[in-house]
Structure 1
Amino acid sequence: MPSARATAPAVASVPEVDDLVAVAAALNAGPGSVVYIDSRDMLRALNAQPWTCPNCGGENDTAFAYCPGCGTRKP
């Protein structure tokens, strides 16, 4: 008797992205395509510009609104 579990869909590999245009193009890979985007890639896509925390001086290259080091709001 066949298993009741469905087989996993094919996964399209998404390289590190630099902007939302690349993410949009990857998501529109075609009918039936399943695209998984790593959360780190999405953070890079949302904010490709690194910023320096005005409080602790830490370099941040994420889209977080707060510094992951000290919690200060992004300028």
Structure 2
Amino acid sequence: MKAEISVKLARCKGCGICAAFCPKSVLAIDELGKVQVVNPDACIGCGQCELRCPDYAIFVDKDAKGGVA
């Protein structure tokens, strides 16, 4: 099963909590201080990034049909 991660960049303050809690290193903070999906194929859909984001900037769709966006 593939999950799809969507990020609302306008809400992201670049705290890095989502990247720190991701067990598969799917997320990283870029040079502009925003979260980026860097390893989408590794996503297991655990939802830790969505759960830990203090700004509600990340959403995980565990029922997505296809890859991670």
TM-score normalised by the shorter chain: which range applies? under 0.3
Q: Which of 1 and 2 has greater Rg?
A: 1
The TM-score with structure 1 as length reference comes to: 0.26
Report which structure shows greater RCO (CA 8 Å, sep ≥6): 2
Between Structure 1 and Structure 2, the one with more strand by share is 2
The TM-score with structure 2 as length reference comes to: 0.27
